[in-house]
Structure 1
């Protein structure tokens, strides 16, 4: 098997613990929402996102709409944008640091050194992705990441989203590998022609679907798909 020329990574459940998003990031954004809107609603970047909220939830106060979406964990683009802005303050202040499984950073660095393109595709905003990897427990990994995609690219369970990512990377889909813990996302990427692998992390309680190759760690992914093995110990 020829090794992939690019690897596209999901975040939650793949590079990072599900608990970090649900128990750290989400509560931080929820607790900071009212103060953030009070202090920043007049800024152009925030005002533009609030206009998107009003368009999607007419008749509701934007803060009320955002709180409702947060409580239901809706995959709504303006919500993700607001969460990303709040998290930016948290990461830049040092109140937050991005969790990565210890096996992730050594593999990403080894793959990047070998010339493999590395991209992130998450339902969390591009802003939030850059913050997590830029302020991670393993240091700033953004210099080795060549692309970021969120729901503005398209739904994660739609094959067209993965075709768009391949086009953006300038590679045939068949030369790219998508890593995720969610079988339906892998279905869509496979339909687009990508190689796929399910991350089955015991700590997250992920169950292998049986529909796709499955690995418990990034070093296992490296061995299975012919990617370089890490040449440094796990971080953290």
Structure 2
């Protein structure tokens, strides 16, 4: 194992999730199939609840905006008490959700319903967040050394907390000092990392960002953030040029400069 010394002055570890702390396959092979398998039952069970109706209304509005695309499905209004209308509406919602997912859409309407379904799945124990086995021990060492640890993911803060709160290793939320999602800005934009540093209350140079995505690494580096690329099984292969950057295959390969 080749050790990589963490640059001196690093006070904060900023972690990506997919491909860094968690296999990329978790979302594609676990979370997304769960929605496809269970959306019909979920809608029938929760249809008359306020939260579900708010999700459906958001999807209905999004469907109208998508009406110009081939395959998009309009969702009819459902008049209370009329079962035929309900069944027709549910069928339309299901078809529209499956269409969005087939197009890899990331609309707020889709994410909102998916989030509510995943919450139920985590709480029931039907889904557990996958975390690489080297992640938890490394973070505990960093925190013991006085470092802070934050998450920055394109997934919502709510989704992040579910993944780590209901993980295969139990509740890991106490390992993190905070969470950021794209509300603070895109992960491929330099300004996002400056905002994160300002929010944390430190210099960008005191942050080490761990990610598997080179575009994110480049944006963070432009903001003055220290960066290490994480290479995990199933991640996109790096080009020869990209392999010149600081690279690890496990969090255990990071050695704190004051703990040689």
Q: Does 1:138 align with 2:169?
A: yes
Unaligned stretches of 5+ residues in structure 1: 230-236
CA distance in 1, matches of 2:225, 2:48: 43
2:171 alignment partner, SS class: coil
TM-score, normalised by the number of residues in structure 2: 0.77
Question: What is aligned with 2:198?
Answer: 167
Q: 1:144 to 1:125 in 2, by over 3 A?
A: same
Q: 2:22 aligns with which of 5, 16, 19?
A: 16
Equivalent-residue separation in structure 1 for 2:203 and 2:120 (angstroms): 38
1:116-131 equivalent positions in 2, closer than 5 A:
116-131=147-162
> Do the aligned partners of residues 196 and 70 (structure 1) sit closer, same or farther apart at CA in structure 2, a change above 3 Å counting?
same
C-alpha distance in 2 between matches for 1:173 and 1:21: 30
* 4+ runs deviating over 6 angstroms: none
User: Quick one: distance in 2 between partners of 1:104 and 1:186?
Assistant: 19
List gaps (5 residues or longer) in structure 2: 1-6, 68-73, 76-92
Distance 1:192 1:153, change over 3 A: same
Q: Kindly report the root-mean-square deviation, in angstroms, between the aligned alpha carbons of the 2 structures.
A: 2.4
Q: CA deviation at 1:89?
A: 1.0
Residue 204 (structure 1) aligns with: 234
Q: Distance in 2 between matches of 1:162 and 1:103?
A: 25
* TM-score w.r.t. length of structure 1: 0.84
Aligned pairs, number? 226
CA distance in 1, matches of 2:223, 2:134: 28
Checking the alignment, whether the CA contact within 8 Å between 2:14 and 2:150 is kept in structure 1 is: yes
Change (3 A) 1:34 1:167: farther
Q: Indicate conservation of the 8 Å contact 1:83/1:128, yes or no.
A: no
* Aligned match of 2:187: 156
Cα pair 2:212 2:235 within 8 Å, conserved: no
Partner of 2:138: 107
Task: Report the alpha carbon displacement of residue 125 of structure 1 after superposing the two structures with TM.
Answer: 1.8
What is the deviation of 1:63? 4.6
Aligned in 2, Cα 1:186/1:85: closer, same or farther, shift over 3 Å? same
Which protein is bigger by CA-based radius of gyration? 2
CA drift at 1:64 = 4.2
